Amino acid sequence: MTRILTFAEMREALKNCQNSVLTSARDGMRVATTNVKAQAKRNCTPGKSPYDSIWFPTKEAKATRYGMPYTGAPYSYDQDKSRDPVHMRDAMYSRVLVQAKNVMGIVGNPKDYADDVHDGNHGMWPRPFIMDAIKEKETETRAILSDYIERGLLQACEGNLFPEIPSDLPTEMNTEDEE
C-alpha cells in the first residue's frame, strides 16, 4: 500500500537516508583504506616491491655491510632502534575522517624521511609507494565504496523510510497505445 508523505515526513526520510549512506560510506572507506595500506606495505617489501630493481649506490653499500641482498624497495637494512619501527612498511597507517557530509580516506607514513623516499630528492629517485598503491587499488576501491553505499541505500529503504510499492503491480507495463 502506498502512503503519501507530508513535506516534513519526506524531509526526515531523506535525512535518514543520507545518514545511512554516510555511515555506509564511512564503513566502506575503512575497508578501502585498509586495502590501499596493505598494498603500500607490499610496495615497501623486498621481493614484492615494484622498485626492487632501482639501483642506489648508497643502499648497495648498506646491503653489503649488513650481509643482505640488495633491493631498491623502500626498506632499511639496519636494526637501528632509534628509528622504531625500523621499516617504513611497519609504520604505514590508514584513517577515515568524516566532516559534515564528506568522507575522506587517508593512507600515510609518519617517518621523517618518508616524503623524500616517496617523492624523491636531489640524490634519490622517487618511489611513490602510496600513490602507486592508490592507483593499483582504484578499481577495487570504487567497487568497495559502491557496494557499501548500495547497502546503505537498501538499508534505508528496508527501514521503511520510504513508502512501500505494492507487490501486486505488474512487473512490465505496455506503454504503447492499444488499437
Distance CA 46, CA 69 (A): 9
pLDDT at 23: 92
pLDDT, tens digit (0-9, with 9 covering 90-100), for 63-75 = 888 888 888 888 7
CA-wise closest residue to 73 among 19, 25, 23, 132: 132
pLDDT at 12: 82
pTM: 0.77
Q: Would you state the cell numbers that stand for residue 99, as one nine-digit string?
A: 566532516
Longest dimension (CA), the chain: 91
pLDDT at 179: 41
Per-residue model confidence as pLDDT tens for the chain (179 residues):
577 878 888 888 788 888 888 999 999 999 999 999 999 999 999 889 999 988 888 788 888 888 888 888 887 766 666 666 778 889 999 999 999 889 999 999 998 888 998 998 887 889 999 999 999 999 999 999 999 999 988 887 776 554 454 455 444 544 444 44
Instruction: Report helix, strand and coil shares of the chain as percent, to nearest 5.
Output: 50, 10, 40
Break the chain into its structural domains and give their ranges: 7-76+86-158
pLDDT at 82: 62
